[in-house]
């Protein structure tokens, strides 16, 4: 019997498959389609202290083997997440939840995590440091090891739950950011967030997205994600949640070979709402076809020998 279980920062998952934040709402929409209890966990919609509408539309554009989004963290704000979204999620999912949190200042990150910390079912915080720092000239926290470390340290002070910092790939040296986060108290690293991209409409001769730029996701980014997971695994001793273009059980295994302990599925959920479920279901036979009996044994296997 194939063993799909893994342990992420001390919390056990039946399988490493986790729908990625922003592609799975707060889970209950998908529970109308299938029993989401089959998932390893799920990372809920990026939550901020205040409610946000996000960016103007259009905020979706297609491209070869992927898509761009500039949704801009639309969410109802942490209070409504606590009072309305989480009760609905908890009614259809009993496993540890990954709480994805965003902010525009160090204080906001800490405050949002502090509000969520009392939720017993939250197994991990996944802190998205790709947002612009309003006090730092609008530059993303994740592009500076120092700023990313400040966010990590601030969140560390308000919770004892495991903290994963979700890194932006839009940097020259991902390893230095990962190292800084670990040194500041991160228990793990999630990567990659979307790659900054653009499309231009030939008819209007203007960018397709109202925000002009957006984040690229989907199969197109998978090789970049694999490379970054591999680099961080090699250089930093820290559990990694790998993501970027994962659409199949084979992709999950590939991400784990690069060094991921768990794997998130993002854009694939939008194209096929059953994608995460199908990946979970096909994992055992895919493992078997590659002679893998236990998934945790292959984590980082590509680095050996």
Partner 1 sequence: MKQTEMTVVGNRPLTETVWEMVLEGDTSPLSSPGQFVNIRLDGLYLRRPISVCDREGDRLTLVYKTVGKGTKKMTTLGIGERLDLLSGLGNGYDTALSGENPLLVGGGVGIPPLYGLCKELRREGKAVQVILGFNTEREIFYEENFRALGAEVYLATADGSRGEKGFVTDVMKRLSYTYFYTCGPMPMFFAVEKVAKTSGQFSFEERMGCGFGACMGCSCKTLYGNKRICRDGPVLKREEIVWPTRQ
Q: What residues act catalytically?
A: 131
Q: Does 273 bind partner 1 (CB under 8 A)?
A: yes
Q: Which of 8, 30, 100, 300 binds partner 1 (CB under 8 A)?
A: 30
Nearest-10 crossing angle of helices 275-289, 249-258: 70
Residues in 74-103 that interact with partner 1 by CB under 8 A: 74
Preceding omega of 192 cis (within 30 degrees of 0): yes
| Least distance between partner 1 and beta carbon 298 (Å) | 28
Q: Which of 4, 48, 69, 261 binds partner 1 (CB under 8 A)?
A: 69
Mark the segment that binds partner 1 (CB under 8 A) among 27-35, 171-179, 221-229, 295-303. Answer: 27-35
Mark the segment that binds partner 1 (CB under 8 A) among 6-14, 52-60, 127-135, 143-151. Answer: 52-60
Q: Which two tokens stand for residue 171?
A: 């940097």
Q: Which is nearer to partner 1, 183 or 271 (CB)?
A: 271
Task: Yes or no: say if 295 and 16 are a contact pair by the CB < 8 Å rule.
Answer: yes
Q: Does 218 bind partner 1 (CB under 8 A)?
A: yes
- CA 243: distance to chain centroid? 7
How many angstroms separate the CA atoms of 225 and 245, rounded?
8
How many angstroms separate the CA atoms of 55 and 230, rounded?
33
Q: Does 29 bind partner 1 (CB under 8 A)?
A: yes
DSSP secondary-structure letter at 120?
A: T
CA neighbor of 193 nearest in space, from 253, 161, 148:
148
Q: Which is nearer to partner 1, 261 or 269 (CB)?
A: 269
Task: Yes or no: say if 267 and 23 are a contact pair by the CB < 8 Å rule.
Answer: yes
Q: Which two tokens stand for residue 259?
A: 């060094």
Q: Which is nearer to partner 1, 22 or 40 (CB)?
A: 22
Which stretches of the chain bind partner 1, using CB under 8 A? 22-25, 29-30, 32-33, 45, 53-54, 57-67, 69, 71, 74, 208, 218-219, 267, 269-274
């Amino acid at each position: 019997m194939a063993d799909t279980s893994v342990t992420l920062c001390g919390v056990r998952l039946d399988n490493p498959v986790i729908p990625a934040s922003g592609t799975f709402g707060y889970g209950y929409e998908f529970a109308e389609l299938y029993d989401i209890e089959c998932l390893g966990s799920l990372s809920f919609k990026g939550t901020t202290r205040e409610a946000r509408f996000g960016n103007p539309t259009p905020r979706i554009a297609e491209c070869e083997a992927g898509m761009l989004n500039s949704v801009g963290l639309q969410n109802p704000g942490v209070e409504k997440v606590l009072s309305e979204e989480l009760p609905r999620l908890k009614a259809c999912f009993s496993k540890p939840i990954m709480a994805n949190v965003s902010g525009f200042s160090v204080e906001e990150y800490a405050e949002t995590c502090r509000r969520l910390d009392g939720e017993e079912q939250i197994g991990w915080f996944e802190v998205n440091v790709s947002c612009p720092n309003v006090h730092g000239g609008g530059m993303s926290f994740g592009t500076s090891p120092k700023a990313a470390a400040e966010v990590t340290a601030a969140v560390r002070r308000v919770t004892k739950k495991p903290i994963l910092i979700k890194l932006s790939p839009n940097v020259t040296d991902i390893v230095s950011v990962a190292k800084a986060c670990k040194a500041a108290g991160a228990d793990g690293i999630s990567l990659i967030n979307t790659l900054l991209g653009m499309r231009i409409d030939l008819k209007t001769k203007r960018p397709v997205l109202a925000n002009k730029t957006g984040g690229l996701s989907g199969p197109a980014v998978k090789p970049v994600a694999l490379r970054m997971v591999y680099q961080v695994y090699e250089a930093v001793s820290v559990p990694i949640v790998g993501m970027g273009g994962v659409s199949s059980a084979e992709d999950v295994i590939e991400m784990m070979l690069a060094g991921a302990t768990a794997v998130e599925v993002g854009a694939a959920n939008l194209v096929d709402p059953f994608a995460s479920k199908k990946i979970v279901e096909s994992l055992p036979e895919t493992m078997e076809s590659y002679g893998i009996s236990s998934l945790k044994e292959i984590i980082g296997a590509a680095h050996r020998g």
